[in-house]
Chain A
Amino acid sequence: MMNRRNFLRLAVGSGAAAVSWRLWAAPTGGSNSRFVLVFLRGAYDSLSALVPYSEPFYYEARPGIAIARPDPASLDAAIALDGRWAMHPAMDDALLPFWDAGQLAFVPFSGTGFVSRSHFQAQDWVEFGQAPGERPDTRSGFLNRLLLELGGSSSRQSGVSFTQSLPPVMRGKVQVANSPVRLSTKRQVGVGYENLLLAMYDKHALEGLVREGLGLRREISKELQEEMQTASRGALPAGGFALEAERIGRLMHDHPQYSVGFVDIGGWDTHVGQGAARGPLANRLQGLSAGLKAMAEALGPEWQKTTVVVMSEFGRTFRENGSRGTDHGHGSTMWIMGGGLKGGKIIGEQSGLAQKDLHQDRDVPVLNEYREVLGGIFARQYGLDKSALASVFPGAAPRDFGLL
């Protein structure tokens, strides 16, 4: 398994032995740390994922969509994590083992230092990651600044975005390759044609990028072929995000130089009929959880060095709306997962969640700024010093939660 997709196989097996896949050379051990950001676009309802079951007001405010208090006898009840918080039952199968192993933590009351209820604006600002009062520099996202601090384009550590186009969070001075992990087969380029392309760029200034880009595509399509072979032996691959996440896990496993990864998932804007223990939101949470598990498993031994953070641009209203859904809110919950985590706990500042505690009488307040949470993780994981962290997240004071 370990050598299944190593350099030699890649070059020889693809019939392009003469081509030097410079950036795809045999793994050198790469970085010791990997980070993957899973961005939930559309603002997921964090109060359904991490349930404040000890708060009576939660059940008053959400008569139609609250997740029932923990009850071992009920399949639809939340799964207690501590005396205050519980997890959505749809996340249970995939994620409870991680929680029990200390490889999962949640940060409720987290979010941005600014208030925007516009999805696109909040997503942009989160991804740029600058100080709340500042006008963001749209040329630079925080993961790209992290890569710059890790050594920039010349470094062995590189970033990869599993998206159709390069998202704001990965924009910046460091070159980052991007490709969706769901490739349309009709667009794929055959080997003969690909060699003509490579020949055209031979010794051209863009040659390195062309090789890198085609190499990533080829890797992904190879994963797809192997999946199809597996499937034909009877094991159907998981659908949706689980499938994508597994591919991401395998790609990162096979390519230790990918130290920073990004993927986004849409479809969280649940204004209408979001459901409770079952329903559309439950299905999405289940898919996400299964995906995280699949990614961790595919990473194999690399999982020990990996941290995955799941977050959204903002939270949703504490109260359900007139359509059994929720509207745009403020505070949310971040998920932190990793093989080397000392988790299994709820971290960060917390406050009550009675009516009087709400932000603008409608939202969960933000007590843990996401940049401080992420900054703390980067500090530990990559050993970044203060000034490096200040370049990644200007004006933020990274918080150490003792997770790593």
Chain B
Amino acid sequence: MKDLRFPPNAEALPAYRASSAEYRKTKDPEKRLEARRALFRARRQVVAAFSQATLRRALNERDDIDEPLVWFWFNHFNVFWLKDLVGAALPDYVDGVIRPRMTGRFRDLLLGVMTHPAMLVYLDNSRNVAGRINENYARELLELHTLGVNGGYTQADVQEVARVLTGFGLRPLQPVRWTEKQAAQMREQGEFLFDPRRHDFGDKRVLGRTIAGAGYAELETLADMLSRQPATARHLCGKLCLFLVGEDAPRDMVEQAAKVYMDTDGDLAKVVADIRRQAGRLAVRPRTFKDPYRWVITSVSLLAASRPVDNTQPVERWLVALGEPLFGRSTPDGYSLRGSDWVGAGQLTQRFELARELVATAPRLLDGPLEVDRVLASGPARALQASLGPASRAALDKAEAGEDKLALLISSPEFMYW
């Protein structure tokens, strides 16, 4: 069990589960513990390798305007790798569900999440069984993923949604012998299983409408219903505006985007395009404080000045230091999209220190020396310098070493906002 290793892709989860089935057979407590630790290490290694790969895309596919949305939608449907097997399910969750579906209809994205082991395990739905309800996922589904906290649902709705969600979980490690009827009702895909034996087949009432007991199809009805609510449209568009436009996006921008959402039955590409169009027409876009992820990514991009970024390991470390590691939020709400939530004395001081480290480490990231003059002459750096106020300008002129100039540039108050 010492050298367990899984590839950081869709293969990781089935391989991980096969190994953990193996470990469960071990009787000796010492060996069991060792096996458990090996599984943990392997899981952590999957997450580390996958984070590297994801950061590499974020840093190198800078021309793809949709790439940042991967971060947004993962954060919206946040899961945390430390919980059980979530780490092993992470690559498939991101690259198999979030990435391909985030520019389609919201309903399909939602359904993908609702049937993915990562979410079903993270929010305990794999333990949600007829007669022994676990409401955890039902509540977050309404509050965080669709309607929003004031989205007009009640505790009774949460309970009824939890009943709809009974039986949606993971394939057992041992093969199941289905009756003919069960075999017709069950659904299986990869490690996901809809288990009719654990499902509550009674009728449910959600948001004033009846969802007739029908097994798997109830999930599709629920996804349709939730994704078509105006509250969901406003909730999602509000968050997208925060992410794409900033903290003080005008209210009617959200309303307008929500209208596009409703008119197109939740076509996310059209919604995002509409928000970008509206933002482009703003006379002045209010500035928002960068969250750590945005600050690190834009800093590294600025220093890279269109050179490829090979080594992203230090980037990971900087995100940890600033309190926003990739895939590192433990609670289902995801990181705050409000820039002002990140403003703080410790945050700023750490950015100042990291700015110098970033400049010093850049040659390792870029696999070659940092050419200060070339960076300063690049388009984004020139635009930034042109935007500097007199105080920053003067400080920059006083800096003697070229490296200090770069570090000051990414430490400047102007660069702290986007």
Query: What 1/0 flags go to A106-130 for Cβ under 8 Å of B?
Result: 0000000000001111001000000
A201 touching B356 in the complex, CB below 8 Å, given contacts A196-B398, A196-B399: no
Interface residue ranges of A196-221 to B (CB < 8 Å): 196-197, 199-204, 206, 209-210, 212-214, 216-217
Query: What 1/0 flags go to B379-418 for Cβ under 8 Å of A?
Result: 0000000000001101110110000100010011100100
Is the pair A197, B352 in contact by a Cβ cutoff of 8 Å? yes
Is the pair A199, B395 in contact by a Cβ cutoff of 8 Å? yes
Q: How many residues of A contact B (CB 8 A)?
A: 44
Nearest chain-B residue to A176 (Cβ)? Answer: B344
Contacts of A321 in B (CB 8 A): 29
For residue A272, CB closer than 8 A to chain B, the reply is yes
Contacts of A212 in B (CB 8 A): 345
Q: Give Cα distance in the complex from A124 to B322, angstroms.
A: 18
Is the pair A120, B82 in contact by a Cβ cutoff of 8 Å? yes
Is the pair A177, B344 in contact by a Cβ cutoff of 8 Å? yes
Which of B214-222, B277-285, B328-336 lies on the face that meets chain A? B328-336
11 further A-B pairs in the complex, CB-CB below 8 A; given A197-B411, A206-B416, A214-B352: A120-B82, A124-B331, A138-B333, A176-B346, A177-B346, A178-B345, A188-B353, A197-B395, A200-B411, A206-B348, A322-B33
Within the complex, what minimum Cβ distance (angstroms) separates A42 from chain B?
13
Is the pair B346, A178 in contact by a Cβ cutoff of 8 Å? yes
Query: What 1/0 flags go to A290-324 for Cβ under 8 Å of B?
Result: 00000000000000000000000000000001110
Within the complex, what minimum Cβ distance (angstroms) separates B142 from chain A?
12
Query: What 1/0 flags go to A339-355 for Cβ under 8 Å of B?
Result: 00000000000000000
For residue B173, CB closer than 8 A to chain A, the reply is no
For residue B235, CB closer than 8 A to chain A, the reply is no
Is the pair A135, B345 in contact by a Cβ cutoff of 8 Å? no
Is the pair B348, A210 in contact by a Cβ cutoff of 8 Å? yes
Contacts of B343 in A (CB 8 A): 206, 209
A-B contact count (CB 8 A): 118
Nearest chain-A residue to B334 (Cβ)? Answer: A138
A–B complex contacts, Cβ < 8 Å, 6 sampled:
A121-B330, A124-B331, A199-B398, A209-B345, A216-B345, A323-B33
A189 touching B29 in the complex, CB below 8 Å, given contacts A201-B413, A209-B348: no
Is the pair A138, B391 in contact by a Cβ cutoff of 8 Å? no
A164 touching B333 in the complex, CB below 8 Å, given contacts A135-B139, A193-B404, A196-B399: no
Q: Give Cα distance in the complex from A322 to B357, angstroms.
A: 46
Q: Choose from B320, B391, B408 the contact partner of A202 (Cβ within 8 Å).
A: B391
Is the pair A179, B399 in contact by a Cβ cutoff of 8 Å? no
Contacts of A197 in B (CB 8 A): 352, 395, 408, 411
For residue A381, CB closer than 8 A to chain B, the reply is no
Contacts of B307 in A (CB 8 A): none
For residue B24, CB closer than 8 A to chain A, the reply is no
Q: Give Cα distance in the complex from A342 to B143, angstroms.
A: 47
Contacts of B139 in A (CB 8 A): 135
For residue B323, CB closer than 8 A to chain A, the reply is yes
Q: Give Cα distance in the complex from A206 to B412, angstroms.
A: 11
Q: Give Cα distance in the complex from A83 to B166, angstroms.
A: 52
Contacts of B347 in A (CB 8 A): 166, 213
Contacts of B392 in A (CB 8 A): 200
For residue B377, CB closer than 8 A to chain A, the reply is no
For residue A233, CB closer than 8 A to chain B, the reply is no
Q: Give Cα distance in the complex from A288 to B132, angstroms.
A: 43
For residue B183, CB closer than 8 A to chain A, the reply is no
Is the pair A165, B331 in contact by a Cβ cutoff of 8 Å? no
Contacts of B57 in A (CB 8 A): none
For residue B341, CB closer than 8 A to chain A, the reply is yes
Contacts of A201 in B (CB 8 A): 391, 413
For residue B373, CB closer than 8 A to chain A, the reply is no
Is the pair B408, A165 in contact by a Cβ cutoff of 8 Å? no
For residue A175, CB closer than 8 A to chain B, the reply is yes
For residue A161, CB closer than 8 A to chain B, the reply is yes
For residue B64, CB closer than 8 A to chain A, the reply is no
A187 touching B348 in the complex, CB below 8 Å, given contacts A200-B392, A202-B391: no
For residue B62, CB closer than 8 A to chain A, the reply is no
Q: Can you list the 3 inter-chain pairs with the closest CB atoms, starting with the nearest?
A: A322-B29, A213-B349, A165-B323
For residue B225, CB closer than 8 A to chain A, the reply is no
Contacts of B333 in A (CB 8 A): 138
Q: Choose from B341, B349, B408 the contact partner of A179 (Cβ within 8 Å).
A: B349
Within the complex, what minimum Cβ distance (angstroms) separates B168 from chain A?
21
Contacts of A323 in B (CB 8 A): 29-30, 33
Q: Choose from A120, A136, A216 the contact partner of B80 (Cβ within 8 Å).
A: A120
Within the complex, what minimum Cβ distance (angstroms) separates B320 from chain A?
8
Within the complex, what minimum Cβ distance (angstroms) separates B405 from chain A?
10
Q: Choose from B33, B323, B345 the contact partner of A210 (Cβ within 8 Å).
A: B345
Contacts of B320 in A (CB 8 A): 164-165
Interface residue ranges of A147-189 to B (CB < 8 Å): 161, 164-166, 175-179, 186-189
Within the complex, what minimum Cβ distance (angstroms) separates A13 from chain B?
20
Q: Choose from A165, A186, A199, A206 the contact partner of B346 (Cβ within 8 Å).
A: A165
For residue A271, CB closer than 8 A to chain B, the reply is yes
Within the complex, what minimum Cβ distance (angstroms) separates B33 from chain A?
5
Is the pair B330, A120 in contact by a Cβ cutoff of 8 Å? yes
For residue A22, CB closer than 8 A to chain B, the reply is no
Within the complex, what minimum Cβ distance (angstroms) separates A260 from chain B?
15
For residue A386, CB closer than 8 A to chain B, the reply is no
Contacts of B197 in A (CB 8 A): none
Is the pair A139, B82 in contact by a Cβ cutoff of 8 Å? no
Interface residue ranges of B3-36 to A (CB < 8 Å): 29-30, 32-33
Q: Give Cα distance in the complex from A150 to B349, angstroms.
A: 25
Interface residue ranges of B25-56 to A (CB < 8 Å): 29-30, 32-33
Nearest chain-A residue to B388 (Cβ)? Answer: A200
Within the complex, what minimum Cβ distance (angstroms) separates B139 from chain A?
7
For residue B269, CB closer than 8 A to chain A, the reply is no
